[in-house]
């Protein structure tokens, strides 16, 4: 009798728990959707492999079923997914007021618990200003000749090879340049290959978060640990042998650490270095690879691009001089090509935030504490925002000035967290395209 009683009690408790899981409490109307299986939610579907540049299948299927705003559960966390341009823009504009940057624990394990994406308020602004020291316009003006020289040398080298793995070679080129600027890293004079650790890291970045030997996620964490160990060793070596003059970003970080104002810690500094190294080469190399493919498939675009860059050469007083900042800023059609490339590339499939209080939007309630995932691909490939959205058409950007995110373009994020490395990415892409069409076509 007692066994039946306790058995029934357990069944009722489980049923009640499952019901609560599928129907979370809310002071209003939740967006439609499914919370998936208890504990794991819809995590398995979210992390399913996807090699296309279309809207992720996980999002696309639920858009058709539930509309542009829906709810789900990822790695045990309730999430509202937004493919609605108005809500996306609202989220970016309300950073620090109604929303704050947030990423799942699995992401913070990978990028570090003190990474710039997880910090807020004064600390975030402080790190952002530090990064602008490296990637701001004044620094990029000085860096421009080196970017052109490095690109020309690599293209010259590749021109003598039968085949080139473009994604891999451009990633190596950009990583070498960025690592030199950040930490004076030179692969030829190093006993360890820093970039190999990032390759392992990348393979598991978007994978199911199962940390056991043999999984991509486990290899990802191993790659991070190795890279962080190398960075820490370099920091300690630099501390033991300080330089008289600042020559890279590491020197600037060391100066900030030595100030001992209680702001910057070694852990935050190393996580910052790690994120900068990853973000600078992986995303840009993918965009460059796609740009070359798009140009190969669209001869009219290639012709127009070539004409622009040949015009730059013709207008020079000294034909042997390198690219100037004014020439770079004059590349109007080139920037249209870049904008169209990153729109179609959709390098960042999701941008996460967290609701700081209950938020009402278009009849739905986003409960306090819930995560929100903005999905840029759904906007970039929307036929309501772009005519023939899957077509590569740089002319659609003609006459448009992009100084930040808009309701229909958010390839570099938005709001106060608009990517500070955007201009660096554009410099590298523009210089690469310039060298490609004027010297190695």
Give the residue ranges of the annotated binding site.
419
Residue 76 falls in which region: left (phi positive, over 0), alpha (psi -120 to 50) or beta:
left
Distances (CA, A) of 344 to 61, 127, 392: 19, 30, 8
Residue ranges at the known binding site for heme:
419
Residues 189, 198: Cα–Cα separation, whole Å: 19
Query: For residues 94 and 197, what is the distance between their CA atoms, to the nearest angstrom?
Result: 36
User: Distance between CA atoms of 45 and 190, rounded to whole angstroms?
Assistant: 41
Residue partners of 355: CB distance under 8 A and separation at least 6: 80, 98, 99, 366, 367, 368, 369, 370, 371, 372
Sheet holding 371-374, edge to edge: 69-74, 77-82, 371-374, 351-355, 99-101
Q: In 246-368, which ranges are E strands?
A: 351-355, 359-361, 364-366
Question: What is the DSSP-derived secondary structure letter of residue 409?
Answer: B
How many CB atoms lie under 10 A from the CB of residue 111?
Answer: 21
- Where is 92: in which H helix or E strand? helix 85-93
Q: Which of 70, 146, 109 is nearest to 373 (CA)?
A: 70
Residues whose CB falls within 8 Å of the CB of residue 383, separated by 6 or more in sequence, listed in order: 389
């Amino acid at each position: 009798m007692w066994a039946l009683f306790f058995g029934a009690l357990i069944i009722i408790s489980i049923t009640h728990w499952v019901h609560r899981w599928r129907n979370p409490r809310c002071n209003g109307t939740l967006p439609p959707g499914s919370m998936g299986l208890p504990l794991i939610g819809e995590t398995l579907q979210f992390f399913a492999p996807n090699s296309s540049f279309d809207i992720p299948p996980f999002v696309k299927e639920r858009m058709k079923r539930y509309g542009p705003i829906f709810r789900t559960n990822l790695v045990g966390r309730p999430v509202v997914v937004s493919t609605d341009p108005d809500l996306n823009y609202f989220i970016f504009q309300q950073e620090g007021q109604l929303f704050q940057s947030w990423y799942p624990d699995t992401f913070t394990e990978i990028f570090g618990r003190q990474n710039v994406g997880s910090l807020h308020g004064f600390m975030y602004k402080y790190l952002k200003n530090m990064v602008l020291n490296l990637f701001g316009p004044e620094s990029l003006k000085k860096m421009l000749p080196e970017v052109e020289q490095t690109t020309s040398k690599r293209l010259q080298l590749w021109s003598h090879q039968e085949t080139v793995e473009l994604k891999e070679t451009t990633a190596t080129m950009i990583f070498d340049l960025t690592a030199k600027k950040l930490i004076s890293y030179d692969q030829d004079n190093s006993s360890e290959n820093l970039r190999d650790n990032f390759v392992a890291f990348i393979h598991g970045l978007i994978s199911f978060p199962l940390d056991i030997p043999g999984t991509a996620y486990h290899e990802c964490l191993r790659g991070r640990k190795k890279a962080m160990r190398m960075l820490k060793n370099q920091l300690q070596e630099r501390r033991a042998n300080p330089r008289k003059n600042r020559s890279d970003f590491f020197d600037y970080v060391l100066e900030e650490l030595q100030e001992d104002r209680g702001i910057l810690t070694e852990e935050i500094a190393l996580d910052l270095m790690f994120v900068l190294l990853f973000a600078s080469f992986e995303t840009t190399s993918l965009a460059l690879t796609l740009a070359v493919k798009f140009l190969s498939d669209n001869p009219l675009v290639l012709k127009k691009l070539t004409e622009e860059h040949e015009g730059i050469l013709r207008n020079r007083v000294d034909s042997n001089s390198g690219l100037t900042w004014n020439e770079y800023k004059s590349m109007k059609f080139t920037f249209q090509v870049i904008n169209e490339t990153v729109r179609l590339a959709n390098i960042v499939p999701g941008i996460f935030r967290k609701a700081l209080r209950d938020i009402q939007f278009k009849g739905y309630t986003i409960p306090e504490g819930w995560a929100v995932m903005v999905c840029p691909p759904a906007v970039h490939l929307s036929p309501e925002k772009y005519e023939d959205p899957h077509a590569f058409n740089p002319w659609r950007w003609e006459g448009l000035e992009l100084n930040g995110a808009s309701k229909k373009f958010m390839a570099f994020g938005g709001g106060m967290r608009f990517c500070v490395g955007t201009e660096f990415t554009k410099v590298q892409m523009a210089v690469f395209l310039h060298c490609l069409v004027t010297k190695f076509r």
